[in-house]
Amino acid sequence: MREGLRTPEAIVPTLFIPLFFLVVNVGQAARIFPGSTTAFLHGQGYGAFQLPSSMLLAASFGSAALFLVEEIEGGYFDKIRATPVSRSAIVLGRLFAEGVKALVIASLIVALGLAFGITIASGVLGFLLLILLTAGWAIVYAGFMQVIALKTRSAAATNSAGLVFFPLLFLTPNFVPRNLLTRPMEIAATVNPVTYVMEALRSLILQDFHWETIGLGYLVIVVAAAIMLALSVRIIRAYD
């Protein structure tokens, strides 16, 4: 967390790029899907439908893996491994920091959305579940990046691996609900775990509590986080 505070300029693209995509996507499609006549918007504007995409994108700009690569290349990581600290603590420290940062960023994005007329249909509790789910995704994605960093020990490889999110994001019901996608795209979205996180976020914004959808989103986060933690700890224990 102190590393993040020392580099506040890293927050600027984390906010600017997701908001840029939100403005562009809404500008392109808002007139096609007017809130008053589009059933899947539940009376809100198209910006409410696009807000979860921006939140997931913002949660995927974590810098934990790059800081880790710096420690590996500088030799500090070897010093940490030489201490009796738990291997899981080495992993969880950075993931916790990414989760806290994502809570702040998600809150800012939602606050900006509220200023432009987007409402959270599920109320205050829905807002809390919304930012917690976003933070959960940030932890999962940072965990994936840490696995890459530990395995490759290369800043270039770690940076390149970050691009994997964009295909995952666009293989979701990003612009319309799943039932309006073409059949091949619907199949791809159904097998993509990010879809269920996005749909959980979207249900909290557009509808009252739809617990099955919300539960699926949280289940994906819990399972994926457990896998990333197990992989990271295993790599550290086998680290030469």
SS (H, E, C) 43-63: CCCHHHHHHHHHHHHHCCCCC
Q: What pLDDT score was predicted for residue 82? A: 87
Among 32-46, 116-130, 155-169, 178-192, which is the least confidently predicted range?
Answer: 155-169
Amino acid at 104: V
Closest CA to 199 of 26, 49, 29: 49
* pTM given for the model: 0.90
pLDDT in tens, 94-107: 889 889 999 999 99
Average of per-residue pLDDT across 128-149: 92
Residue 195: CB atoms within 10 Å: 23
